[in-house]
Structure 1
């Protein structure tokens, strides 16, 4: 019944180890079917080399299992809340990639230093603050989603313009129109995090990219008069 959705989710998950974004059973990707009100997600603790499309779990937006023989990812409630809150997103990825996690553990936004960063988002990549003790001791995974949403609200960010976030002491979450785009954004985030770290090692006083160059690179790819790539 959900075979196409499961296959989309499976293929996206298999990209994580291929891209060097996860080790062992770290991380997860989900893919949504808005018409049916469900999403597919990796099962908890299943090694990628053993994963098959059949193993993918189907859940509703309240994180209830609709179909599957395994327990879904431990982050399922986070995915569910983001899908329920942001109806523009079609896939979510969560990794523990090295450089992105390092910035998250430091509790710092990733500064926008160059055009590689500006090609994908026009501002610093935000780091949502660590959860309160009450949130951690309560419905932790659900509250993780709330913390991301609240951080975007407080910073005036749109999930369509900023498709990635760090969560302090935890790691990165990314999303996109599809599960494949969410994984793409995870890879971009990791590379931008690595570049920023190397930049600060070379020159700790490096200024952010100048506004005209920042906006030029973002707008030529994402603006109303964008001209990057080929016409569809």
Structure 2
């Protein structure tokens, strides 16, 4: 089933490793086929160097395994919550990349200090609040998804315009129109977080760039006013 999507998800999981965004088995990529309502995701705890396309696990939107001999990633319920939250999300990534994790562990939003950030994220990348004890102790991964969705809705943040989140004391999740774009955003998020840390080292009082500049950079790449890159 979904042979082509399985291949793409496998390739993007390997790309996480190639980009230096994961160590060992730390991370996962998934993608959804909206027509069938099925999700393809990395198997749990399998080393990237030993994975094959046929190892990717196919599940339905309730998390039931439809095809595959291995257990799906333990983060599957978080991925499913994101797919349910916005129909434009076609791929989801979770990593423990260190610069982004630093903000998650500090419980801080990644503020838009400059135009690199603004090219991809419209406003701060939010850090979620603490999860409740009961949320951690029962159905933890599903509640992780719930706290992400709640954070975006409470703060009126657009999933397509800010395709990343920092789960407090845990790490980043990113998404996109497909698995490749979700991985791309994971790499951009890590680089933006690194730039922010270095900026704070140079100037501990650094603040958000002017709103008009941030908005200009976002809109020249996104939406009807976009003019960056080539057409066709």
TM over 0.5: yes
Could you list the runs of 5+ residues in structure 2 that have no partner in the other structure?
none
Q: Tell me how many residue pairs correspond in the alignment.
A: 232
Q: Does 1:12 align with 2:8?
A: no
Q: Does 1:200 align with 2:217?
A: no
Instruction: State the shift of 1:43 in Å.
Output: 0.2
- 2:188 maps to 188
Instruction: State the shift of 1:136 in Å.
Output: 0.4
Mapped to 1, the partners of 2:125 and 2:114 lie a distance apart of: 13
Mapped to 2, the partners of 1:84 and 1:159 lie a distance apart of: 12
- 1:79 maps to 79
SS of 1:182's equivalent in the other structure is helix
CA offset digits 1:90-122 (Å, max 9, x no partner): 000000000000100000001111110011122
CA offset digits 1:152-173 (Å, max 9, x no partner): 0110011111100000000000
- 2:120 maps to 120
SS of 2:84's equivalent in the other structure is helix
Mapped to 1, the partners of 2:45 and 2:141 lie a distance apart of: 16
- 2:52 maps to 52
- 2:21 maps to 21
Answer yes or no: is the 8 Å Cα contact 1:62–1:81 preserved in 2.
Answer: no
- 1:227 maps to 227
Which segment drifts farther, 166-175 or 2-11?
A: 2-11
Instruction: State the shift of 1:80 in Å.
Output: 1.3
- 1:176 maps to 176
- 2:35 maps to 35
Which segment drifts farther, 83-92 or 165-174?
A: 83-92
Which segment drifts farther, 94-103 or 83-92?
A: 83-92
- 2:133 maps to 133
Mapped to 2, the partners of 1:37 and 1:123 lie a distance apart of: 31
SS of 1:127's equivalent in the other structure is coil
Instruction: State the shift of 1:130 in Å.
Output: 2.1
Mapped to 1, the partners of 2:229 and 2:144 lie a distance apart of: 36
Q: Does 1:160 align with 2:160?
A: yes
- 1:143 maps to 143
Mapped to 2, the partners of 1:217 and 1:22 lie a distance apart of: 29
Q: Does 1:109 align with 2:143?
A: no
CA offset digits 1:7-53 (Å, max 9, x no partner): 01101101001000000000000011011110100000000000000
CA offset digits 1:45-71 (Å, max 9, x no partner): 000000000100001111111000100
SS of 1:221's equivalent in the other structure is coil
Mapped to 1, the partners of 2:208 and 2:85 lie a distance apart of: 32
Instruction: State the shift of 1:211 in Å.
Output: 1.6
SS of 1:153's equivalent in the other structure is helix
Mapped to 1, the partners of 2:223 and 2:229 lie a distance apart of: 13
